[in-house]
Amino acid sequence: MVKRLLADLPLSEQLMHCTVRIESEDAAGNISEGTGFFYQMLQEDESLQYIVMVTNKHVIEGSEVGRFVLNLADENGNHILGSQEVITLTEFEQRWIKHPEDVDLCMMPLAPIIREGETKGKYYSILTLTRDDIPSDEQICQLNAIEDIIMIGYPNGIWDRFNNFPVMRRGITATHPKYDYNGKQEFLIDAACFPGSSGSPVFIFNEESFIDKEQGLIFRTKIYLMGVLYAGHRYTTTGEVKIEEVPTGLQSISSIFINLGIIIKASNLLVFERILRERNS
């Protein structure tokens, strides 16, 4: 049993349950950290429903062992505060399905973990995002060039260890999401991007009210899953600005991020739904 809807909580608090901190260990024992989030694939077809974890390819690249922590729920699906289970998996990289194109995304089905937990009487409390959370082309065209965003993850490995909750940070769109930045299905955000933030979901989130292009001030909450952080712009000691993947571990300082993150558009997640359909046809 998985608690996917936490409707009794405010929307901003529900989002605290949609991410997971991923720890990867390579053959040499080097440990790196990143962010993943829960997503429900093929929601319209009950026979093909899949709950998956999504992150960047570079987060799990070269990993032999992976660890992450899931919050526990009671048999009715109610979240048990401060109660978690550490999941440890071997052959970690091989468990992930990678985006077939040059897109830094991958996913791992969680059904085997959920089923094994149920056999032991353990239930997990998570919030899954779905296709319904991704804005349509029409909705994206209605966005303003500057929108408030939130990014949820584990920057520099910082998290609420006791409650297993992530850190939420604010920013704004730095390029208009309706345009493909430099010809790729990406856009920029103005937000601090630190090691451990790779794989963080990025939302446009306006609680209570927002400005609509055509209707002006609207009093309701707007939330869209806009994409996934994977890279940022760095300013080097030689004065160059380079695009680099957000690191998954601490590094010596030879360059600094200039708080411009590159976001893979959420529409790229729909490719995974096609892959799962083909695997089950």
Cα separation, 95 vs 19, whole angstroms: 19
The one-letter code for the residue type at 65 is V
* Paired tokens of 14: 């529900």
The answer to whether the Cα torsion of 263, 268, 273, 277 is positive or negative is negative
Question: If residue 38 lies in a helix (H) or strand (E), which one and from where to where?
Answer: strand 31-41
Task: Tell me which residue of 225, 142, 230 sits closest to 184, measured CA to CA.
Answer: 230
195 vs 151, 199, 250, 257, CA distance in Å? 14, 11, 7, 10
Q: Are both 2-130 and 134-268 of the same fold?
A: yes
Q: Would you kindly state where each structural domain of the chain is located, as residue ranges? A: 2-130, 134-268
**Dihedral through CA 7, CA 164, CA 135, CA 132, nearest 10?**
-50
119 sits in which H/E element: helix 111-119
Helix extents (H) in the chain: 11-14, 57-60, 111-119, 137-141, 270-279
Contact at 8 Å (CB) between 172 and 143?
Answer: no
Whether the CB-CB separation of 277 and 238 falls below 8 Å is answered with no
Whole-structure pTM value:
0.87
Pick the CATH number of 2-130 from 3.30.300.20, 2.40.10.10, 2.40.110.10, 3.40.50.620: 2.40.10.10
- For 169, 195, 229, 240, the CA distances from 250, given in Å and listed in that order, are 20, 7, 18, 21
Q: How would you write the pLDDT of the chain (281 residues) with one tens digit per residue?
A: 344 445 567 888 889 999 999 999 999 999 989 999 999 988 766 555 689 999 999 999 999 999 999 999 888 778 888 899 999 999 999 999 999 999 999 999 998 898 898 888 899 988 899 999 999 999 999 999 999 999 999 988 889 999 999 999 999 999 999 999 999 999 999 998 877 789 999 999 887 655 555 665 554 578 999 999 998 766 555 555 555 555 555 444 445 667 889 999 999 999 998 888 887 76
- The answer to whether 260 and 246 are in contact (CB under 8 A) is no
Q: Which CATH superfamily is domain 134-268 in?
A: Trypsin-like serine proteases (2.40.10.10)
Please state the length of the chain: 281
Is the distance from CB of 226 to CB of 177 less than 8 angstroms? yes
Unique residue bearing structure tokens 């779905």: 130
CA nearest to 230, candidates 260, 191, 253, 200:
200
